[in-house]
Amino acid sequence: MATSQAALDEIKLAMASTNDIFNKEVFGKRNFAALADVYTKDARILPPGGSMVTGLPGITEFWANLIQSVNATSAVLQSLEVMPAGDGLVEIGEATLAIQPAGQEASDLRVKYVVYWRQDAGRWKWHVDIWN
């Protein structure tokens, strides 16, 4: 399925909006309910050093625990490549997480990620999310 440049540009804006929710709402305001606007209902995350988590409730619990345990305040995402893949998209990117665990200096944690995006309820959301 061909995706025109104009359509792709529009999709990239929608993706940036989703990524912004992850950064500003979920990390910035600890509004974990906003994860419903980031992940599809049956999304999968594959966190380093842990098991795959399937479904929005488990994913919400994962991020709530992680954000609170390392005292994270932002997660700035940068798309490096976006590849149209049928009804979805494959994105390669880099994330910078600002963290300050109890008793430690504030620091930045950098990760690489691959996200498989799907449309869900009129929004572009993360359906498969893996990072390292």
One of 4, 5, 87, 122 touching a copy of itself (CB under 8 A): 87
User: What mask, x for binding a copy of itself by CB under 8 A, covers residues 92 to 121?
Assistant: x-------------------xxx-x-----
If one asks whether residue 4 binds a copy of itself (CB under 8 A), the answer comes out as: no
Query: What is the distance between the alpha carbons of residues 128 and 132, in angstroms, rounded to a whole number?
Result: 14
User: What mask, x for binding a copy of itself by CB under 8 A, covers residues 53 to 82?
Assistant: ---------------------------xx-
If one asks whether residue 85 binds a copy of itself (CB under 8 A), the answer comes out as: yes
Cβ count near 108 (within 10 Å)? 10
Query: 48 by DSSP, 3-state: which?
Result: coil
- How far separated are the first and last CA of the chain, in Å rounded? 30
Query: What is the distance between the alpha carbons of residues 50 and 42, in angstroms, rounded to a whole number?
Result: 18
